[in-house]
Amino acid sequence: MFTTKTEQQLTTEYLSQGYIIRPVADIEALNWIRQQFVDIVSEALGINNDIDPEVLLNQIHERVPVTELNNFRLKIIRGFNAIDGFREHYYQVARPFLDTIVGNELAMQLRVNLSIQFPHDDSSLLPVHADTWAGDSPYEVVVWLPIVNCYGTKAMYLLPPAKAAELNQNFSKSAGQNSEELYHAISNDVKWLNVNYGEVLVFDQALPHGNRINSESETRWSMNCRFKGVFTPYGDKKLGEFFEPIILRAATQTGMSYKLPGI
């Protein structure tokens, strides 16, 4: 393997754990992203945007009724996905890690997703699942980016690779009748991933993961977006429909446009 020591360490960690957590590669890009959230949320609520982002975001449950949460979340998603350069800034926070784990010719999800999870609210739960169970390609990774500190039940959990392999071998016996029974079957083995603002999580979406009721006192805000190698196999989410190329190297561009001379 012609890789550097740093790349080898990152690769070994990702393969053994199913994820890596690192300080973001571009803190200015992350701060820009969070400011977009402050601006959009402030406009949606009709308040000034000079409020401390930590206070505004962590305590948003004091300003938005839980009955309005989904509509509020969708409004915020539409807002930031409409901003020029948003996805590029998102990519920059994880770029060197994606280069090592996925490759440097990449396809990126067309829209970045957002999770907002109020304290003690059961309306925003993500039951245990692996994205591949719903037809996603096993060649994808998720870049999970918090814009507040995410810890304890304010974060997400992941079943490590070795335990996931055991589950797959005995899935029919372990899965139970629903996702709640499946979670209880693996709950002692899942790992809760604490990710602070200023850090980024890259994880294998083929591993079972999800969240539970947020029993902390603050609201969780986290974004997620999938990346994959442009030339790796696609599942149900196709290039041009769900993904688009964001990096194509010169040799690829010339190769794609090459035509043999006519005879």
What ranges do the domains of the chain cover? Answer: 9-246
User: 256 CB contacts (<8 Å, ≥6 apart)?
Assistant: 248
Q: What is the pLDDT of residue 119?
A: 97
Average pLDDT over residues 56-62: 97
Angle at the Cα of 73 (from 143 to 35), degrees rounded to 5? 65
**How many helical (H) and strand (E) elements, i.e. helices and strands, does the chain have?**
9, 10
Q: Could you tell me the fold of the domain covering 9-246?
A: Jelly Rolls (2.60.120)
- What average pLDDT score do residues 227-250 get? 96
What is the pLDDT averaged over residues 222-240?
96
**pLDDT-based confidence at residue 176 (cuts at 50, 70, 90):** confident
CA nearest to 249, candidates 229, 225, 227, 226: 229
User: Please, which pLDDT band fits residue 111 given cuts at 50, 70 and 90?
Assistant: very high
**Residue 24 has what pLDDT?**
98
Residue 175 has pLDDT above 90, yes or no: no
Average pLDDT for residues 11-40, to the nearest whole number?
Answer: 97
Residues 118-144: pLDDT tens digits?
Answer: 999 998 889 999 999 999 999 999 999
pLDDT score recorded for residue 11: 97
CA distance 193 to 47: 33
Using CA atoms, how far apart are residues 22 and 193, in angstroms rounded to an integer? Answer: 12
CA distances from 2 to 7, 20, 94, 139, 230 (A): 10, 21, 22, 21, 21
Q: What pTM was estimated for this model as a whole?
A: 0.95
What is the per-residue burial (b if ≥16 Cβ within 10 Å, else e) of 158-192? bbbbebbeebeeeeeeeeeeebeebbebbeeebee
pLDDT tier at 1 (50, 70, 90 boundaries)? confident
